[in-house]
Amino acid sequence: MSRDASYAGIDLRALRGIPVLLLPAVFAVLPVFHLGANTVKLLFLTFMWIAASVGWNILGGFAGQVSFGFAVFFGLGAYATAVGINLGWNPYVTYLLGGAIAAFASLLIGLPTFRLRGPYFAIATIGVSEAVRVVMTNIDATGGSSGYRITEHGPFRQTEHYYTALALATLAVGISMAVRHSRFGLGLRAIRDDQDAAADSGVNPYAFKLAAHAIAAALTGAAGGVFARYSAFIDPEGVFGFQRSVGILLMPVIGGVNTIWGPVIGGGVYGVVEEEVTARFPEFHLLLYGTLVIFIILFEPGGLVGLLGRLRRLLLRRRAGAWQPS
Amino acid sequence: MTATDFLNLLISALLLAGTYAAMAVGMTVIYGVMKIVNLAHAGFLMLGAYFVYELHERAGIHPLLGVLLSFPAFYVAGLLVHWALGRGVPVSDTPTLASLLLMFGLWLVLQNVGYLVWGTSDRSILTPMTFATLRFGDITIPKIGLVVFLSALLFLAALEFVLHKTWFGRSVRALIQNRYACRIVGVYVERTARMTFGLGVAFAGAAGGLLALLYPFSPDFGRPFLLRSFVIIVLGGLESFSGVFVGALILALVETFSILIVPSSYQPAISFSLLVLALIALPGGVAGLVARMRFRGTE
């Protein structure tokens, strides 16, 4: 395949980008076919999860800093949007606000924890989400633990929500690609592989990690905002709960960390499983995910993307074997 | 606050500190030797609680005997886990993404197996000791707290003995210092690591049993204690055994005395605030601080 990468002087590898561009276009056209409300909801949630998952991967995958606390950003974004909409602001402004607040929070978390080597960051994030959840359940202005209702004037337009989520997911993947192929992304990869060597070659690990954390948090916060406006009701356990953090971490791990498409595939799988399986077997899904994580780390650390790559290589080898029976 | 109130709080803080030290030490040995942050610690704490509970309910075995029995049982469980998952844990000087996620996955599995078996409702182990108190004038000491404290100290003393008087213990301490030097002098690194993992899990199980005597528990029992364990070992400097005692004492004191100023609904946020403070002020933990002061002294 890649051996004939050029035809008549045209680099065919450039064409590989086309299906990628087509993907959001296909989903943008889909609502024309009058999908059922449930299907649209499923796709909406999936896009929203993909945005959060891609965000997590920028920090956890590219920079290699595992966080168990992305619910903080998801929840902050959700609450920012909720409060903003209730104040009568434009929802799209509130998404930006949610992302900005989440990015600011990421700095507060990152400033003390990224200074140190070792597992400090990962464990501190468990504590952060716990602390923020506790504080939010005690704040009376947003209803405390009984939750917060969002009242938006005008009719509920599901298609608008659908396109918002699709745009956010597309933006997330775009940012992820831009980061990956930039000097910044290269620096993150260097930090992931060997922090000392990266620092010696002029990368500032502290600043790079903080920046990656902020980008990831902003995307997750915006996803939280999109979620809040759709569901019209949020509560601390739902958006700040440990389950949320677990979910956001699982998606890229299942799909394949440190890749562009892993988190997207993982988000898609998670969105569907969450909607279809969780409703029926609520007690099984975390058991299932836990087992899955163990198997992925033990046998295919590349996740689903790694598995697909392995299958493709297997098929190619078989085909090559048919050509040259040696 | 009167002097007796102060003394009562101080005593309960000290009793708590002993239990906390036993709880965190399992995490320290595993981290020190294998550089694995054992997130499944929370799961083993929870299983330890149910182990003691089931023995007590079904076989009528005294909870303290149950805690003692949990030690070998969880040691074997730890060896099995290490045998099953060990290949996924690359040997490294710093914790790896893979080992972190692996232990996280194991925790999810343990926790949700707990939910499947025991449901979501809270359980507790009640013995005649549970509500009994010892009185010395105005000072009251909860009997169960004292018993748990003494058992925890006993376990810790046994660990100190093993670490300082046996070859296994010497290998463990050597491995914490330098893995490569250990290989050169002929320490069987793999076997020591395996046994250390078993030991860490055994301590988690036994500590879970002890905590179950003090608090009601559910399958999510371990989570707040996981964070506490981590605060303790960060305060203690991650790899130091004496640091664990200091860290446990600090956390217990802060938690106990903060009741006076912080509303109880904010209690879960305390351990985290302490963690952040520790990270900013004492990056090397208390042990690091002591070392730095000594270093300055020699200059």
Report pLDDT for A8: 53
Instruction: State the Cα–Cα distance between residues A252 and A266, nearest whole angstrom.
Output: 5
Establish if A246 touches chain B: CB-CB under 8 angstroms: yes
A142 touches chain B (CB under 8 A): no
Task: Check B85 against A246: CB less than 8 A apart.
Answer: no
A253 within domain boundaries: yes
Can you tell me the ipTM of this complex? Answer: 0.81
Q: How far apart are CA B16 and CA B37, in angstroms?
A: 23
Per-residue pLDDT, averaged over B163-184, amounts to 86
Q: Which amino acid is at A180?
A: R
A-interface mutation test, from B101, B110, B225, B239, most A Cβ less than 10 A away? B101
**Cβ within 8 Å, pair A138-B94:** no
- Is position B237 within any domain? no
E strand spans, chain A: 6-7, 10-11, 148-149, 233-234
Cβ of residue A293 closer than 8 Å to a chain B Cβ: yes
Among B276, B280, B282, the residue to mutate for chain A (most A Cβ within 10 A)? B276
Nearest alpha carbon to residue B232 among B223, B217, B222, B242: B242
| Domain annotation covers residue B209 | yes
Distance separating alpha carbons of residues A51 and A164, to the nearest angstrom: 11
Average pLDDT of B106-124?
88
pLDDT at A321: 65
* Cα(B14)–Cα(B256) distance, integer angstroms: 9
Give the closest of B31, B95, B98 to A297, CB-based. Answer: B98
Task: Using an 8 Å CB-CB cutoff, list chain A residues near B95.
Answer: 118-119, 122
Residue B243 lies in a domain: no
| Chain-chain contact of A287 with B95 (C-beta, under 8 angstroms) | no
CA dihedral A134, A135, A141, A143 (to 10 degrees): -10
Domain membership flag for residue A5: no
Lowest mean pLDDT segment, chosen from A163-172, B66-75, B115-124, B205-214: B115-124
pLDDT at B94 over 70: no
DSSP string of A160-223, one letter each residue: HHHHHHHHHHHHHHHHHHHHHTSHHHHHHHHHHH-HHHHHHTT--HHHHHHHHHHHHHHHHHHH
- Closest by alpha carbon to B91, among B188, B172, B190? B190
Q: Residue B48: inside a domain, yes or no? A: yes
pLDDT of amino acid B80 = 92
- Residues of chain B with pLDDT > 90, as a percent, come to 14
Its pTM stands at 0.83
Which residue reads 């700095």 in tokens? A107
Helix count (H) and strand count (E) of chain A?
A: 14, 4
From B227, which residue of chain A is nearest by alpha-carbon distance? A127
| Chain A partners within 8 Å of B111 (Cβ) | 286, 290
Is residue A25 a part of any domain in this protein? no
Q: Is residue B91 part of a domain?
A: yes
- Domain of residue A215 covers 36-323
In a structure prediction context, what are the per-residue pLDDT tens digits for chain A, which is 326 residues long?
444 445 555 555 555 556 666 777 777 777 767 777 788 888 899 999 999 999 999 998 899 888 888 999 999 999 999 999 888 888 889 999 999 999 999 998 888 888 776 677 887 888 788 888 888 888 877 777 778 888 877 777 888 888 899 999 999 999 999 998 899 999 999 998 888 888 898 889 999 999 999 999 999 999 999 999 888 888 888 888 888 888 899 899 989 888 888 999 999 888 888 877 777 776 677 788 888 888 888 888 888 888 888 888 888 887 776 555 44
Whether residues B272 and A130 touch (CB distance < 8 A) is answered with yes
Q: Which residues constitute the domain of residue B21?
A: 3-219
What are φ and ψ of residue B178, in 5° steps?
-160, 110
Amino acid (1-letter code) at residue A126: I
CA pair distance A267, B71, nearest whole angstrom: 41
Indicate whether B74 pLDDT > 90: yes
The domain tally of chain B equals: 1
- Number of domains forming the structure of chain A: 1
pLDDT of residue B50: 93
What share of chain B in percent tops pLDDT 70?
A: 91
Residues of chain A contacting B224 with CB distance shorter than 8 Å: 130
Residue B259 near residue B6 (C-beta atoms within 8 A):
no
CB-based contact, A115 to chain B, within 8 Å: yes
The alpha carbon of residue B55 is apart from the nearest alpha carbon of chain A, in Å, by 25
The CATH number given to whatever domain includes residue A61 is 1.10.3470
- The answer to whether residues A58 and A103 touch, using CB atoms and an 8 Å cutoff, is no
Among A120, A243, A299, most B C-beta atoms within 10 A, so best to mutate, is A120
Nearest CB neighbour to A134, from listed B31, B109, B268: B268
| Interchain CB distance below 8 Å, A286 and B113 | no
- Identity of the residue in A122, A138, A287 whose CB atom sits nearest the CB atom of B112: A287
Residues of chain A found within 8 Å of residue B93, distances taken between Cβ atoms: none
pLDDT value of position A326:
44
Residue of A nearest to B233 (CA): A120
B31: in domain: yes
pLDDT in tens, A157-214: 888 888 899 999 999 999 999 998 899 999 999 998 888 888 898 889 999 999 999 9
